[in-house]
């Protein structure tokens, strides 16, 4: 940074001093540089010399170029015009010319490369031409020039130090402000992170509490439901036992009455036997005339009271019976396949009869109902496809089907 500022500020003054020490001269060498013909100064691609152009001293060398230099050259018709362009730029140290293309450089550490293809090197020199070349001086004292240079260098060094101090102070201030801003942002982020962690912890606690409350409520509801189910099952079993006991008592009473009638008939005379035979024949005729109606009424009474477990595990219900004019057949120990099923809880219908009457009796698509030993659901079997139902042996499954049911077309 310091070197650049010194070079930039000193270059015009130094150039002025050097220009004051020297007077441009016209020589044979400078005359050849004014020609656009490369061979004027470089016959057989050889030659060199020193000339003063626009107040600056240049050394030229034939068949040579330098790097680095400007990638895009300026157009100047002669080497002398190329040297004049370099002399006008204080930071220009050298250049080379070829066929009207002028390449200049400000890099003091440039490198030279030989090339015989019409390249002409122009280097700006600090020393003035000797008396044999120029023959004229301006009479200025070189000591005064050096003193002036030292003064300028001292001023530039002081100015560079001042600028450097300002830059360091500004840089320190910027660094301090950046560190403070970073600390503030870090503290804000940490605070936000802590708040998020607290919210997360609270959310997890709320979630856990809600899950525990829901689990406890579910367990309580499940326990109540199981108790109600057990109570219903116990009541149903008691009812089934009572029904079976009543049926057994009725059967015993009927047997006793039959035995008593038989004894009474044996103690009577032949006329009474004939009379009893006539009465028996009349009763048989009446029974034959109204056979269906009494049996149907008795069967309906017996089967309508049968529980889910008693329908295929008790006694008294016929294999076929009527429900309001529709005949059904018992199928115990079979599972029903290939039907559409709609399930209804048995706590709504305490007996198969009640489920048949409400869910199947007046429905065309319904072919019957089914249930399992658990007696939890009434499965209403509905028409599915043209293949119809299929039955599979299963001791835990039972069904009641309509007699003569046909699938809807």
- Give the pLDDT band of residue 275 (cuts 50, 70, 90): low
**What pLDDT does 400 receive?**
93
Q: How confident is the model at residue 316 (pLDDT cuts 50, 70, 90)?
A: low
Give the range among 34-38, 74-78, 89-93, 129-133 with minimum mean pLDDT.
Answer: 129-133
> Are 241 and 305 a contacting pair, CB within 8 Å?
no
pLDDT of residue 138: 45
* Cα angle, residue 79 at apex, residues 100 and 123 outer, rounded to 5°: 125
User: pLDDT tens digits, residue range 27-49?
Assistant: 444 579 999 999 999 988 888 99
Q: What b/e readout covers 230-258, taking b as 16+ CB neighbours within 10 angstroms?
A: eeebeebeeebeebbeeeeeeeeeeeeee
234 or 204: which leads in pLDDT? 204
pLDDT digits (tens, 9 = 90+) for 323-333: 988 999 999 99
pLDDT at site 312: 87
pLDDT at 299: 64
Determine the 3-state secondary structure of 149 from DSSP.
helix
pLDDT for 189 equals 94
Mode of pairing for the β-strands spanning 390-402 and 366-372: antiparallel
Contact status, residue 102 vs residue 85, Cβ threshold 8 Å: yes
Helix spans in 35-141 (H):
79-88
- Identify the residue with better confidence: 286 or 49: 49
What is the distance between the alpha carbons of residues 365 and 385, in angstroms, rounded to a whole number? 11
* Angle, vertex CA 341, rays to CA 336 and CA 342, nearest 5: 140
Indicate the average pLDDT of the chain.
79
What single-letter DSSP state applies at residue 119? Answer: -
Give the per-residue pLDDT at 134. 40
Please report the beta strands in 22-140, taking only residues with DSSP state E, as ranges in sequence order: 48-53, 56-62, 64-67, 74-75, 94-98, 101-105, 111-114, 120-125
| pLDDT band for position 1 (cuts 50, 70, 90) | very low
Q: Percentage helix, strand, coil, to 5, in the chain?
A: 50, 20, 25
> Mean pLDDT, to the nearest integer, of 242-268?
71
pLDDT at 99: 93
> Percentage of the chain with pLDDT > 70?
77
How confident is the model at residue 24, as a pLDDT? 38
| Whether pLDDT at 123 is above 90 | yes
- Model pLDDT for residues 51-85, shown as the tens digit of each residue: 999 999 999 999 999 999 887 899 999 999 999 99
Would the pLDDT of 246 be above 80?
Answer: no
User: 392 pLDDT exceeds 50?
Assistant: yes
What is each CA distance from 389 to 166, 308, 313, 372, 392, in whole angstroms? 101, 22, 24, 17, 10
Greater confidence (58 vs 236) lies with 58
Of the listed ranges 59-63, 146-150, 202-206, the least confidently predicted one is 146-150
Which residues have a Cβ under 8 Å from the Cβ of 239 and sit 6 or more positions away?
307
Q: What is the Cβ-side half-sphere exposure of residue 151, based on CA atoms within 13 angstroms?
A: 7
The residues with which 67 forms a beta bridge, in sequence order, are 111
Average pLDDT over residues 390-407: 90
pLDDT value at residue 45 = 84
Least confident of 129-143, 145-159, 302-316, 378-392: 129-143
* Tokens, residue 62: 């034939």
Q: What pLDDT, in 10s, does the model give residues 334-345? A: 999 888 899 999
Whether 286 has a pLDDT exceeding 80, the answer reads: no
Q: Which two tokens stand for residue 282?
A: 């009349």
- % residues pLDDT > 90 (the chain): 43
């Amino acid at each position: 940074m310091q070197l650049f500022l010194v070079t930039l500020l000193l270059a015009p003054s130094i150039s002025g001093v050097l220009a004051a020490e020297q007077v441009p001269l016209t020589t044979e060498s400078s005359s050849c540089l004014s020609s656009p013909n490369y061979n004027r100064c470089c016959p057989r691609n050889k030659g060199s010399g020193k000339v003063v152009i626009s107040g600056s001293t240049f050394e030229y060398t034939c068949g040579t170029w330098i790097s680095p230099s400007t990638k895009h050259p300026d157009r100047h018709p002669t080497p002398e015009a190329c040297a004049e362009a370099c002399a006008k730029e204080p930071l220009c140290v050298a250049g080379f010319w070829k066929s009207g293309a002028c390449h200049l450089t400000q890099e003091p550490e440039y490198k030279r490369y030989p090339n015989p293809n019409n390249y002409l090197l122009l280097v700006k020199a600090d020393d003035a031409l000797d008396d044999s070349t120029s023959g004229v001086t301006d009479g200025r004292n070189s000591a005064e020039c050096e003193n002036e240079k030292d003064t300028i260098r001292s001023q530039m060094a002081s100015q560079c130090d001042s600028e450097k101090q300002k830059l360091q102070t500004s840089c320190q201030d910027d660094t301090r402000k950046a560190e403070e801003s970073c600390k503030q942002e870090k503290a804000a982020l940490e605070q936000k992170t802590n708040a998020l962690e607290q919210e997360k912890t609270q959310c997890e606690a709320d979630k856990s509490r809600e899950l525990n409350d829901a689990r406890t409520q579910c367990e309580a509801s499940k326990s109540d439901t199981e108790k109600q189910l057990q109570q219903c099952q116990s009541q149903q079993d008691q009812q089934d036992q009572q029904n079976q006991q009543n049926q057994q008592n009725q059967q015993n009473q009927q047997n006793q009455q039959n035995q008593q009638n038989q004894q009474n008939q044996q103690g009577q005379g032949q006329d009474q036997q004939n009379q009893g035979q006539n009465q028996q024949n009349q009763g048989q005729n009446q029974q034959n005339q109204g056979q269906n109606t009494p049996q149907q009424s008795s069967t309906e009474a017996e089967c309508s009271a049968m529980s889910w477990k008693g329908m295929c595990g008790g006694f008294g219900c016929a294999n076929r019976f009527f429900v309001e004019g529709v005949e059904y057949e018992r199928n115990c120990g079979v599972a029903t396949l290939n039907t559409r099923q709609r399930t209804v809880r048995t706590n709504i219908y305490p007996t198969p009869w009640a489920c048949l009457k409400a869910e199947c009796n007046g429905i065309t698509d319904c072919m019957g109902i089914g249930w399992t030993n658990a007696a939890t659901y009434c499965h209403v079997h509905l028409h599915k496809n043209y293949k119809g139902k299929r039955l599979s042996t299963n001791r835990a499954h039972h069904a009641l089907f309509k007699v003569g049911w046909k699938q809807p077309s």
